Chain A
Amino acid sequence: MPNELVDFALVSVAMLGIGIYGLAVKRNFIRMLFAVEIIINAANLNLVAFGRFLPHSGGQTMALFSIAIAAAEVAVGLSLIIVAYRMYQNVDIADFGSLKG
């Protein structure tokens, strides 16, 4: 293995930072979903990297579970976006305040 564990961990940290920036700054619902995807991918990368270097097969197994659950999350999130877009004709989350209740 020419690459070290800390390299993968640093790339994962960079992706986490970018995702946090997107969640904090963007108000577009779809962009916030992008940011969530980037954070989930950072977590998966960490799981597989630590699983490779320990070494243990649990990392890859958990990464596969995480990928499948992320697929479910995106399906529900996108249908929520479609519903909110039909009601408000906008994707700005500042307009979605009356969705509650």
Chain B
Amino acid sequence: MADVAFLALAVITIGSAIAALEMRSLIYGSIALMGTLGGVAGFFLLLDAPFVALFQLAIYVGSIAVLILFTVMLVKRELIFKKIEDRRRKFAGIGLMLVTMVALGAVFLDSGIKTITTDEPATDFRDIGTDFVTYYWPALILMGLLLAGSVTGALVLAKREEVENAKRAS
């Protein structure tokens, strides 16, 4: 049975996930998204994965959420407070959400993972570091190249002059 910390984290995570999508203001929405990401970091701590939890805090809450917040601030004021959504699709979306939750939840509850428990000690983060530099080293290098490429691509995309030239030409 789940303990109190788990239940509190679940309420924080799911509640702020709903708030991130449903709040009228995009700024409050992105702050609620920070709550979701921090809640997932708390789950990682409960799962004895402090290394991943710190990565989650540093990368998601520290950089991605702040990046989103700055992008929101670049948008016009009336767009921040305007809800843009398909009214007709609203009920279809809620139905899709419920179908997904009920179907996948039923599969999980019906499967054998309810009986899985473990007494073994958690993975040491030294093992993860060793894995990174031994078995997964090609993937690590590829990931570094991918990050460099994506940051360069983002800079090139966001360059001001070319966009305005294209706008003038069209």
Contact = CB atoms under 8 A, between A and B. Distances in A.
Interface of A: 1-11, 13-22, 24-28, 30-31, 33-35, 37-38, 41, 44-45, 48-49, 51-58, 60-61, 63-65, 67-76, 78-83, 85-87, 89-92
B67 A85 contact: no
Main secondary structure of the interface of A (DSSP, over half): helix
Contact of B26 (A2, A19, A30, A69): A30
Interface of B: 1-3, 6, 10, 13-14, 17-18, 20-21, 26, 29-30, 33, 36-37, 40, 43-44, 46-49, 51-52, 55-56, 59-60, 63-64, 67-68, 71-72, 74-76, 79, 83-86, 89-90, 92-94, 96-98, 100-101, 104-105, 108-109, 113-114, 116-120, 122-123, 125, 127-128, 131-132, 136, 139, 143, 146-147, 149-151, 153-155, 157-158, 160, 163-164, 166-167
B93 A24 contact: yes
A89 to B, nearest CB: 7
**Shortest 6 CB-CB distances between A and B: which pairs?**
A25-B93, A72-B150, A21-B97, A24-B93, A79-B154, A17-B101
Q: Most B CB atoms within 10 A — which of A8, A60, A71?
A: A60
Contacts of B151: 72, 75
